[in-house]
A and B are shown apart, each in its own frame.
Chain A
Amino acid sequence: MNVPTVETFGQKVLHPKVEELIDLATELKQEGFNMVVDLTAVDYLSFPTRADLPENVNPERFEIVISMINHQTRERLRLRVQIQEEDPVVPSLFDLYPGTESMEREVFDMFGISFSDHPDPTRILMPEDWVGHPLRKDFSVGQIPVQFKASKAKR
């Protein structure tokens, strides 16, 4: 499949469109990329001019980053998929690589990117009733307010 390819720091990075993701992953699996090592996401809200993006790829707010490995040739590959801000949905890789199940759940939990056709689309790290997605850039770090109370001792 013809996908924009970049080489950064000696690592090969592919930039498929979100519609092409499943086809590309199927192709890569047949080529021998037998394991998805890592699947995560980045919220580029405050850094829209990100590094190493080829010209013909349209930057969006979210990006899914998938690291794959080919055990035979000892080759590594990274897929960076642009995901739009409104209604961020990605097809799940579960049927091809069942090992992505909890990583996709983590991305959903932390970024609010849903994976269509995921067998268990629930939160994994945060409590079930949590509101918001903590690793989004517009989610504040939060602090526990410290209260300094004046002593009530009589003077």
Chain B
Amino acid sequence: MTSEVTETSNQSLSALSNDERVCLREGSAVLRISESDATSKTKNEITETSDPSEETRMILNMGPSHPSTHGVLRLILELEGETVERSKPVIGYLHTGMEKTAETLSYTQGSTNVTRMDYASPLFTELAFSLAVEKLLEIEVPVRATWIRMLMCELNRISSHLLFQATNGMDLGAVSMMIYGWREREEVLRFFEKVTGLRMNHNYIRPGGVAVDLHDGWQDDLRNLLEIIPPRLDEYDDLLTGQPLFQKRLQGVGSLNTSEAIALSATGPILRSTGYDWDLRKDEPYLAYDQVDFDVIVGTHGDSFDRFAIRLNEVRESLRIVEQILDLMPSGDYRIQDKKITPPPRARIDESMEALIHHFKIFTEGFHVPPGEVYAAVESPRGELGCYLVSDGSPNPYRMHIRGPSFVNLQTLPHLMRGGLIADAVAVISSIDPIMGEVDR
């Protein structure tokens, strides 16, 4: 009896046009119940409602501490047998009020704060924040700083996507992939450590430029990286892409079409996997992306396999960009020489009183930013990462908001999981690649 009801409701669902389906208030894939409600229902296991379609449905709680939830994502799943009917991602377990904290930190300290949001690709949040501050200050950073930023961001995209390959493999049971992914990511992080001094949370891209210039011999380190990674990517292809078992786990699992993705404000690989060509690096070029040659990778089916393949090939495109940057890197300053914004060189402090005063002012009070509000967006590995900044003329932002791509992309999760098996839910979560630090901020 129950199955009949589900069938008819499915039929009426398929009759709806695609973005109407995500618009549904009742009967959509999103389970809109409160957390306490879910907890009480979990205790009874099988819900006792008068609605016959819900008679045999079970509410299952998954997470927040679960190895496949990439941190502290909690899911409330409504199951019919082993099939996921509706679901609700419950977030906030990693909420530390970073937007509130930002209001008490100066612009100089701000990048230290934002870098901790998306901890798998910290340079992108720093970049979005710095671009927003620079727009308010109406300053142009030196060309070399722009290119260094681009180089570091592309390397960060590589390390972030390699991390995805590792965790995705682990979630699907290809555990050896986890070791390989971490291994290659470590190579990139080693380069980061040489440049920024830190493996993660770099605080490298700052308003006015970057923290330090590239070290001597950075070209050799990069060439070494460009030699190591491509053959390993081909290994991944052998290990994963061509494997029938791996394909069976991903192909056709968690499908989305373009109009649904756009209606749900999804960006990044999720939107591109539906065959929609949208990449801010191409469509709204920032930094110097209009001067390098690369392709935007799009999928066809919008399933988990496409999202996996897009990320794998984006690593190749990023390597292509890095190779071009190696030849095109201009010389010059790595940060703007404006004593009101960037600190003077260390040696000057010993000789010049003014330099000492500027240094002291920047690191105690910070610099003043003219009043205004601005939005700056960059293409992070997960999609559009935006920073909305309001300044009241003081050295602290009046309001700083980060539009986290993971936070918004997480809305597609119930729609991707609907009708799939609970075992596939793990594959779907992994293919969204949410970073909880950025979801909860």
Contact = CB atoms under 8 A, between A and B. Distances in A.
Name, among A34, A47, A123, the residue most crowded by chain B CB atoms within 10 Å (CB to CB).
Answer: A47
A108 B284 CA distance: 31
Nearest to A40: B401
Interface stretch (A18-26, A82-90, A127-135): A127-135
Interface string A31-55: 0001111101011001100111000
Interface residues of A, number: 45
Interface string A95-112: 101111111001000100
Contact of A134 (B100, B403, B440): B100
Nearest to A34: B262
A125 B440 contact: yes
A8 B373 contact: yes
Size range of the chain B interface in the assembly: 35 or more
B309 interface: no
B91 interface: yes
B340 interface: no
Given A37-B403, A51-B371, A126 B388 contact: no
B171 to A, nearest CB: 23
A6 B97 CA distance: 31
B322 interface: no
Nearest to B277: A71
B92 A125 contact: yes
Contacts of A124: 91-92
B410 interface: yes
Interface stretch (B30-38, B43-51, B312-320, B425-433): B30-38
A99 B373 contact: no
A125 B265 contact: no
A120 interface: yes
B388 A38 contact: yes
Contacts of B100: 134-135, 141
A126 B374 contact: no
Interface in B108-141: 135-136, 138
Contact of B97 (A50, A76, A134): A134
A119 interface: yes
A7 to B, nearest CB: 12
Contacts, number: 117
A35 B372 CA distance: 24
A47 B441 CA distance: 24
Given A74-B283, A135-B99, A37 B136 contact: no
Given A38-B386, A125-B91, A127-B92, A11 B411 contact: no
A76 B262 CA distance: 15
Contacts of A98: 19, 22-23, 263-264
Contacts of A47: 390, 392, 398
A15 interface: no
B386 to A, nearest CB: 6
Contacts of A127: 92
A8 to B, nearest CB: 6
A148 interface: no
B155 interface: no
Nearest to B370: A51
Contacts of B390: 42, 47, 50
Contacts of A35: 262, 265
Most chain-A CB neighbours within 10 Å: which of B266, B283, B388? B388
A28 interface: no
A94 to B, nearest CB: 8
A36 to B, nearest CB: 6
A71 B278 contact: yes
Contacts of A125: 91-92, 95, 440-441
B66 interface: no
B104 A40 contact: no
B23 A95 contact: yes
A74 B282 CA distance: 11
* A-B interface, 10 closest residue pairs, ranked by CB to CB distance from nearest: A99-B265, A51-B371, A125-B92, A120-B32, A38-B403, A47-B392, A125-B95, A99-B264, A40-B401, A51-B372
Interface of B: 19, 22-23, 25, 30, 32, 34-36, 91-92, 95, 97, 99-101, 104, 135-136, 138, 262-267, 278, 283-284, 371-375, 377, 384, 386, 388, 390-392, 398-399, 401, 403, 407-408, 410-411, 440-441
14 contacts: A8-B373, A34-B262, A36-B265, A37-B403, A43-B399, A67-B375, A95-B23, A98-B263, A102-B408, A124-B91, A125-B91, A128-B34, A135-B100, A141-B101
